[in-house]
Chains A and B, each alone.
Chain A
Amino acid sequence: MAASSKPGSPPSSSSSMAQDLFNNFSFSKTLKLKTKQQELLIRVTVLTLIYILAFITRLFSVLRYESMIHEFDPYFNYRTTLYLTKNGFAEFWNWFDSESWYPLGRIIGGTLYPGLMLTAAALYSVLRFLRFAVHIREVCVLTAPFFASNTTLVAYFFGKEIWDSGAGIVAAALIAICPGYISRSVAGSYDNEGVAIFALLLTFYLFVKAVNTGSLAWALASAFGYFYMVSAWGGYVFIINLVPLYVLVLLVTGRYSLRLYVAYNCMYVVGMLLAMQIRFVGFQHVQSGEHMAAMGVFFLLQVFFFLDWVRHLLSDTKLFQAFLRITVTGAVSVGAIALGVGTASGYISPWTGRFYSLLDPTYAKDHIPIIASVSEHQPTAWSSFMFDFHILLFLFPAGLYFCFKRLSDATIFIVMYGLTSMYFAGVMVRLILVATPAVCLISAIAVSATVKNLTRLVRSQSQAVQSGSSKGASTAKSSSKGVIDNSQPFQRNGAIALLLGAFYLLTRYAIHCTWVTSEAYSSPSIVLAARGANGNRVIFDDYREAYFWLRQNTPPDAKVMSWWDYGYQITAMGNRTVIVDNNTWNNTHIATVGRAMSSYEDEAYEIMRSLDVDYVLVVFGGVTGYSSDDINKFLWMVRIGGGVFPVIKEPDYLANGEYRVDKGATPKMLNCLMYKLSYYRFGELTTEYGKPPGFDRARGVEIGNKDIKLEYLEEAFTTQNWIVRIYKVKPPKNRW
């Protein structure tokens, strides 16, 4: 972790003051460090403290609850990592899983991004080699904070590359506690993004270093960084589109150079070849429309190099102008024709729905309900920005101003990264994560430049005082400072006051970040907490209770039908086969489950018999007031089911356009399978003092159909707080 010090020359006044300070302490006569060593010591100490801070601020949930995996997706990652450590890489790479998506199964080896699992398994084997007897779960839980600490180091080097080492340190400090990043990298959130943001920032840093130095070694390193990013997350498409866009902007602004040529060529070619090693990505780099920008810019760069060489050979400039026009027009037209032929013939596939909805945000709402239903995919409101960035929202435009003042290849890159990522963050809440490193870096530039200005003001006053007192002669230096001498104390005090103000703002940022981390982003989602009547904290551990009941009380080959949100958790903790899970790769299968949930019990029984379902699991929040239950998600089941099976019509479930579960609900709603399974025996329960029995606390109404009889299913298990309810599908009646 040694930070190499730049051979810069610190201002003489600070060194003299520091030397004076050191000489005043009698014991430091033996400990007299030169200024450069002092600076190095301070920097290394600060970076170490930032490293530790980034790790420990993410540990709230581990300290409050226990070391467990959060949310839904991380359970799948945990299960695959477990399989990898038990059975080795070859088995993992060729794994066909028949325990999910019954009866289709899933080719896991070819449909996941292996970077995260391989990283955790590598850390696990290193720790095991050093004879630390850790469980793989602990390694998985703490992978994300560890990589967040590494990200702060990369941010320091990146800041140093773009601006100077002061900006690097501020960037590291900002990104260590920024809530936009913490939200997806808290301890227990074992998800791709925890590792991917580290890989993203590393790739960008290595590429900018390669463009600045023109060295082949750095370009090769950036290609390997890109390979790591491709293996870690599907968001690598952002890199493969931002880097060509950046090269294009450099070409347009006349900053073509051999360094750029070397850096981009090496990164693109070697990176593309490496990326094809991941089975999930396959040949997309040459076949998919999302990757064509990189290829187009690659060929354009060859044209530029060729023209540069021709200009070097030709001595006649007018001839060269003509040649230039012909070549550029010819190249552009050949490229356009090739693109047109490729797209028309179908070889180049069009942009997939997920990424197309980023360019046209209204597309998902109309055409792809599955993408539109995920709450993380909603567009961003101002308060989400404020929550995740706080004062960085003020510092971002100021930092852009400083970058525009000192335009160079590196600052153009960070400006483009910041602007494109902020646009995407505005389109989808989840992508605030991708914008966070850029916002932190640009804000760090603003902070560093402003603080430098202010301290220069403070120091120049004291320097003028010193030079005025020691020399006192009318040199050109003191005459130019004459103007400042008149307003000397005012400016100096003003600068000190502004410095204190900046320090206050940064303190408020730190307080905000810690509060947000503690209150909003440290909940494990699988364990719910609420405040009881007398202020004490009440914990609902119903999910794990239900999954363990499944694990211990059902036959090993039982198949469980639930909505796709819970699939990963059921396979990982309950160890039973599920019908659909969070991978959502087969829309028709999910629509079949949605249709079963929204039909009457007898039709649903037919569908469940055709899928071999043994148990049905529903999540119900009426007793506790938990609002993310299946009744609140029910309209999405109807929409997705209705998207494939037109027999399910959404207006059948809405009374006057309004979604109700009380007496005013439609008869189809009151008798569908989801309603019956959620409210079975609920009509006898009194949930709140002073309210009639059957009062649904999550919707705030008394339910309409209290007398529910189940014909084809029977209740198998209901958890302590009625959050998870499991029903057994009865076998068909014997004939006669």
Chain B
Amino acid sequence: MRPKSDNPQPLTTGDSSTSSLSSGTTTSIDPIYHILNILPFSFLRPPRLRLKLPSLSLPSPNLVFAFVLLTYFMVVSGIVYDVIVEPPGIGSMQDPYTGSVRPVVFMSGRVNGQYIIEGLSSGFMFLLGGIGIILLDLALDRNRPRSVKSSYAAAGISSVVLAYVMSMLFVRIKIPAYLR
């Protein structure tokens, strides 16, 4: 807040202030401003500082959307399951004939169980499929050069096809009786 001994300065809307309740006008209706004027600052002289309150602004929709996609990926990968049940990153099985320990990627036997890596890779496939459809929509937007549009379209179609095929493969590995 402006010290009383200063020369009157031009009014600024985003003025620097240490008290959040001060106003820019010379006759303020703020009661706390007046109380502070009287009590400490009638005999104390505040120093001249160049402080600036950080201005909060709403993030752009694209940033919010990127954050939303990230949380979607985490939820769909089963991160809450990983935190609570604490399964191993990848399962292991002992080969009955050779005695060596082989890794098992997909936890078999029940629908609601997973290993961490299995969850993350499936979640990535779901996200890839979603991004493929988004790329397809971007490709159909009129205001872009043709080469960009066709590359978006190619990337989008290949993403969707890849994601769908891989997801079906994962489900068939995990649940052998799927669609039979």
A393 at the interface (CB under 8 A from B): yes
B24 touches A394 (CB 8 A): no
Q: Does A398 contact B (CB under 8 A)?
A: yes
A322, A398, A453: the one within 8 Å of B30 (CB)? A322
Set of chain B residues within 8 Å of A319, measured between Cβ atoms: 25, 29
List residues of chain B with CB within 8 A of the CB of A253.
Answer: 58
Which one, B1-9, B39-47, B72-80, is touching chain A?
Answer: B72-80
Please state if A379 and B78 are interface contacts (CB–CB under 8 Å).
yes
B163 to chain A, nearest CB (A): 6
Q: Closest B residue to A511 by CB, please name it.
A: B179
Q: Are B175 and A383 in contact (CB under 8 A)?
A: yes
User: Contact: B140 with A453, CB < 8 Å?
Assistant: yes
Residues of B within 8 A of A553 (CB): none
Q: Tell me whether B84 and A394 are in contact (CB under 8 A).
A: no
Complex alpha-carbon distance, A387 and B175, angstroms:
10
Per-position 1/0 for B145-179, Cβ under 8 A of A: 01000000100010010011001001100110101
Question: Are A426 and B126 closer than 8 Å at their CB atoms?
Answer: no
- A381 → B minimal CB distance (Å): 4
Given the known inter-chain contacts A252-B58, A326-B21, A361-B83, please indicate yes or no for A385 contacting B76, CB distance below 8 A: yes
Interface centre among A382, A386, A396, A457 (most CB of B within 10 A): A382
How close is A495's CB to chain B, nearest CB, in angstroms? Answer: 9
CB 8 Å contact bits of B111-130 with A (1 = contact, 0 = none): 11110001100110011011
For the complex, is B55 an interface residue (Cβ under 8 Å from A)? no
A426 touching B78 in the complex, CB below 8 Å, given contacts A383-B111, A394-B164: yes
Q: A404 to B64, alpha carbons, bound, how many Å?
A: 9
Residues 86 to 140 of chain A near chain B (Cβ within 8 Å) = none
A651 → chain B closest CB, angstroms: 20
- Whether the Cβ atoms of A381 and B119 lie closer than 8 Å is yes
With A326-B30, A386-B167 as known contacts, state yes or no: A380 contacts B78, CB within 8 Å: yes
CB-CB under 8 A from B28, the residues of chain A are 322
A6 CB-CB contact with B under 8 Å: no
A450-B137 contact in complex given A326-B30, A394-B130, A429-B112, C-beta closer than 8 Å: yes
B175 contact set on A, CB distance < 8 A:
383
B81/A381 in contact, CB under 8 A: yes
A273–B97 Cα gap in the complex (Å)?
Answer: 70
- Cβ–Cβ contact B179 & A393, under 8 A: no
Please report the C-alpha to C-alpha distance between residue A511 and residue B168 in the assembled complex, in whole angstroms.
13
Please indicate the chain B residues that have their CB under 8 angstroms from the CB of A407 in the complex.
61
Residue interface mask A407-438, B partner, CB < 8 A = 1? 10000000100010011011101000000000
**A381 closest partner in B (C-beta):** B114
Q: A318-B23, A325-B20, A397-B130 are in contact. Are A383 and B83 (CB under 8 A)?
A: no
- A423 touching B164 by the CB < 8 A rule? no
Minimum CB–CB distance from B57 to chain A (whole Å) comes to 11
**Shortest Cβ distance from B89 into chain A, in angstroms?**
14
Give the secondary structure class of A's interface.
Answer: helix
Please tell me if B90 contacts chain A, counting CB pairs below 8 Å. no
How many residue pairs link A and B with beta carbons under 8 A? The number is 163
Which residues of chain A come closer than 8 Å to B78, judged between CB atoms?
Answer: 379-382, 385, 426
In the complex, which residues of chain B have a beta carbon less than 8 angstroms from the beta carbon of A534?
none
A422:B75 contact, CB within 8 angstroms = yes
Interchain nearest-CB distance for A20 vs B (Å): 28
Which residues from A are CB-within-8-Å of B122? Answer: 382-383, 386
Q: Do A379 and B164 form a contact, CB below 8 Å, given A393-B129, A397-B134? A: no
Q: Is the CB of B20 within 8 A of A393?
A: no
Q: Which chain A residue lies CB-closest to B136?
A: A450
User: In the bound complex, what is the Cα–Cα distance between A540 and B123 (angstroms)?
Assistant: 39
Q: Are A382 and B29 in contact (CB under 8 A)?
A: no
How far does the Cβ of B109 sit from chain A's closest Cβ, in whole Å? 11
Question: Which chain B residues numbered 20 to 40 have a C-beta less than 8 Å away from chain A?
Answer: 20-21, 23-25, 28-31
- Please state if B163 and A394 are interface contacts (CB–CB under 8 Å): yes
A512: B residues at CB distance < 8 A: 179
**A453 closest partner in B (C-beta):** B140
**Alpha-carbon distance A106/B55, docked complex (angstroms):** 58
A contact residues around B134 at 8 Å (CB): 397-398, 401
On whether the beta carbons of A398 and B133 are closer than 8 Å, the reply is yes
How near does chain B come to A654, taking the closest CB pair, in angstroms?
19
A-B pairs, top 7 by smallest CB distance, nearest first, are A397-B130, A394-B129, A398-B133, A322-B23, A381-B114, A426-B75, A379-B81
Which B residues lie at the A interface, using CB under 8 A?
20-21, 23-25, 28-31, 58, 61, 64-65, 68-69, 71-72, 75-81, 83-85, 111-114, 118-119, 122-123, 126-127, 129-134, 136-137, 140, 146, 153, 157, 160, 163-164, 167, 170-171, 174-175, 177, 179
13 additional contacts, CB 8 Å, given A378-B112, A398-B130, A400-B72? A318-B23, A326-B21, A381-B111, A382-B118, A382-B123, A385-B76, A393-B126, A396-B130, A400-B69, A419-B71, A426-B78, A429-B112, A450-B133
Return 20 A-B CB contacts under 8 Å, by A number.
Answer: A319-B29, A322-B25, A325-B20, A325-B23, A361-B84, A382-B76, A382-B77, A382-B78, A383-B122, A385-B126, A386-B170, A391-B129, A394-B163, A394-B164, A400-B72, A401-B133, A402-B137, A404-B61, A425-B75, A454-B140
